[in-house]
Homo-oligomer: A and B are copies of this chain.
Amino acid sequence: MLKSPIQPHPLPRSPSVAIVGATGAVGTEMIACLERRNFPLSRLKLLASPRSAGRSSKFNGQNVHIDALDAFSLRDVDIALFSAGGAISIEFAKTAPRHAVVIDNSSAFRMEQHVPLIVPEVNIDQLARHSGIIANPSCVAIIAALPLWPLHCANPIQRVVATTYQAASGGGAALMEELRASTQAFLANQKFTPRVAPHDYAFNVFSHNTRVDPESGNNEEEIKVARELPKIMNAPNLRVGITCVRVPVLRAHTIAMTVEFEHPLTQLAQNRDLDHAESIV
């Protein structure tokens, strides 16, 4: 499925960019981000499922038509940003031209050997090693890696115990809408039947809405983060224990981490009441 590692062709100065999953919560942010950064693109192609195709989105003041993704959608594209779930990434990433770069937001390729898993502030040096696909880590792995990396450079980290407070946004626009609607119903003393979340979401917390592995007791989100962090930080022996929980927050994840270092901390840190470095990001 993956192309063999090759030295990538240089991209054109004004590449043609496609967003796959353009109507989702992440796709919408991608469009806004390209506009805000004034990204030098020659053309923006917006792609979505046949259900969402036909609509349009604003980009730099212009209406851009949203097309249905098919096997030919990417043939004139230089950069394809995927955020439509792992199944779509697996099916369509290979339809991008050989010279193109797929930047994939799903978990489909993250742990593949020839796919760099990039947090720019941490391992941008790995970017050039790609063979056509660059993976974006899970959101929690990113916010964990940001403060861990400079600490790890100063004093190697051996173990991380983390707990998350994850917002509805990670579950997409539909989960955000369910949080709003169910909370509104609760406050109006009306019954609400969850459609997206596995539990009532109004004023409630629950284990991350991914499958729980019966063997380990971990949900898929926890397993992903525990695998991705060592790859991002190039620290294969890093031990990660993590508990991922959804909280009734619309946007922005929070993480609490306890970190064990190879060497003793400085006197300042050792004087603290509790004997570990602790932070809420």
Contacts and interface: CB of A to CB of B under 8 A. Distances in A.
A169 to B, nearest CB: 11
A243 B278 CA distance: 8
Contacts of A274: 216, 218, 222, 226, 240-242
A203 interface: yes
Contacts of A161: 161, 258, 276
A256 B245 contact: yes
A275 to B, nearest CB: 7
Interface string A77-111: 00000000000000000000000000000000000
Interface string A102-124: 00000000000000000000000
Contact of A248 (B247, B258, B280): B247
A242 B273 CA distance: 11
Interface size class of A (residues with CB under 8 A): 35 or more
Interface stretch (A27-35, A45-53, A147-155, A179-187): A179-187
What is the oligomeric copy number? 2
A217 interface: yes
Nearest to A167: B203
Interface in A208-262: 213, 215-218, 222-223, 226, 239-243, 245, 247-250, 254, 256, 258
Nearest to A276: B241
Contact of A247 (B165, B240, B242): B165
A271 interface: yes
Contacts of A273: 213, 215-216, 218, 223, 226
Interface of A: 161, 163, 165, 179-180, 183-184, 187, 203-205, 207, 213, 215-218, 222-223, 226, 239-243, 245, 247-250, 254, 256, 258, 271-276, 278, 280
